[in-house]
Structure formats: structure tokens, C-alpha cells
Amino acid sequence: MADTRTAPPPPTSPPNGALARAERFVRLTARVLEQHLFAHLFRDGGAAPVETALDAYRNEDGGYGHALEPDLRGPVSQPLHTARALRVLDAVGRCGGRRAEDVCRYLTSVSTPDGALPAVHPSQRGYPAAPFVPVVDDPPGELLATGPVVGLLHRNEVWHAWLFRATDFCWQAAETLERSHPYEIEAAVAFLDHAPDRARAEAAAERLGRLVRRQRLAALDPDDLGAYPIAPGYAPGEHHFPHDYARTPHSLARAWFTDEEMARSLDHLVAEQREDGGWPVRWRQWAPGPALEARPMVTIESLSTLVAYGRAVD
């Protein structure tokens, strides 16, 4: 007797739009936190699920740990984890109140004598960490760690005693840089974009823009990357582009680049989306887990930049 049962429908074809492809990638690979953050930013999801997921990384000292920043493993709070947490809270409009007070309490406890934050606190010792973020006993304060935190707290009008010396540190560091590297410049921009003294910030940013062009720290022609040096210690091919410095058109760093240069940069960002829907991790990869966890974060940031510049993603 012939089998008359209906055959199952064919599998749904992969999505075609950049946003839909990225969503599939996030659903396949991301942690719960990034899944909720993607839904909030691009699919009208609520802020509360993001905040609840972020709480899993929060410690009693007010800081964040548990590999929130994937290149630092282990449970202990670290400034880089806490900076990542503040970016998430800022993205969902929850960067204030008691939560911000707890964060500032933690930041006070790990600050260096000059009021700044170390990139890695010695409490990381004994837990896995990327080789490019070494753990030392008496780490100095760094603009790399301090600038983004101070900038976000000012952006959200948080006032705390810790901010006064940390802000002074950021001003001094940003205004005296002579030679630098892309991540440090990005940290300076993160501070200057939200520093309270706007005239001073604009002057400091103009100076940094000249430094970036003089040192060729921004790859202005994606078709000729060999013309731009890789910073010492960076991964092969780890170039930084105009959109890495000016993540929105409102950033002070946007004035560093012509319209043509920015358009080429954004075109390159669009082209970087991989076949699986995600964007690549450009920095040095040292273990499978951190690389897997970082890609959804990079994907969300890439989409956010494209949306900020009015690029169609669907």
C-alpha cells in the first residue's frame, strides 16, 4: 500500500538581510545577556531582561566579574568587566541610581594612588587571562581602563567622589598623549565625548585627531591596508578604521575624517559581516571560549554603529 502521509515541509531558507542574519548568529552562539541585549536594541525587547541577565555577573563588592569581558576569566571583579557592564546599562537606560553608587564604591576600592583604574587588578592572579593583559602586583592607572568608565558616568549624570580625581586623570592623560595606539585613543574619545567641559574636550579631541593621522592609526583606505602599520602587540591584520573611533556621527572623532573616508569605512564594516551572520573578532584570539563569546558582542556593536550612521541593515 502506498504511503500517503504528507512529507514534512522543507527547512526554512537562511535569512538574507544583515540584521536577520546577525540575529540568527546571535541566537546560535550568544550568551543570554547578549541575546537579550540584541532583542532590546533591534527587536523592541525590554530593558528588564537585560538587567536581570547582567546581574549574574555582579559581585557583592559592586563590581562585575565571571568573564563578562571574555578575555578575563574567573569570578573576581575587574575594571574591564565593570566597564563592559556600564556599557550594557547605558544601552538600556539603567546606568544610574543605587547600581551606579555600588559601581563607584567598587571603583574607589581598586583605584591607583592617582585616582585612576588599572587595566587588570592583581586579584585576577590565578585565574585564566589573555596573555596580552598581564597580571602584575602593582599596576599603574591607565587611560585605557579609566576613560570609558568616566565618560559613561558623566554621560549618565552620575556624581560621586571617585569621579573627581578620575576625571582629572583622564584630562591629564588625554591632553598629553604624544604617541599612542588605537585602543588608548578610543578610550580617550570615550571620555572626551561626554566630559563636562565641552570646549576643553573639543580642543583635546582636535589634537588627538592630528595625532591619529600623523601616526596613521586609522586605516583610511580598506583596499590598501598594507599602507597602515599594526600597533606593537596587536594581532596581524588588527587595523582600526574611522568607525572604530567615531562610533556615532555625534562623536568628536567624526571631525577627524572626511565624508568620503567615513563612507569607505562604513562600507568596509558592512562587508565584514561573515557568511554565518556575525562580525569577526579582530584582536588576538587565545582560546576558543573567549573568541566564541566575543563575536556576538562585536556583532551587536557593528550593527549599532551602522544604525547610528543611518545605514540600512535589513
Among 162, 252, 154, 254, which Cα is nearest to 196's?
A: 154
pTM: 0.93
Note the pLDDT of residue 16.
80
* pLDDT 10s digits, 119-172: 999 999 999 999 999 999 999 999 999 999 999 999 999 999 999 999 999 999
Domain ranges for the chain: 177-313
Mean pLDDT per 10-residue interval, the chain, length 314 residues? 50 75 98 98 97 98 98 98 97 93 97 96 97 94 98 96 97 97 98 98 98 98 96 95 98 98 98 98 96 98 98 90
**Side chain identity at residue 246, one-letter code:** A
Q: How far apart are the first and last CA of the chain?
A: 49
CA–CA gap between residue 90 and residue 84 (Å, rounded): 10
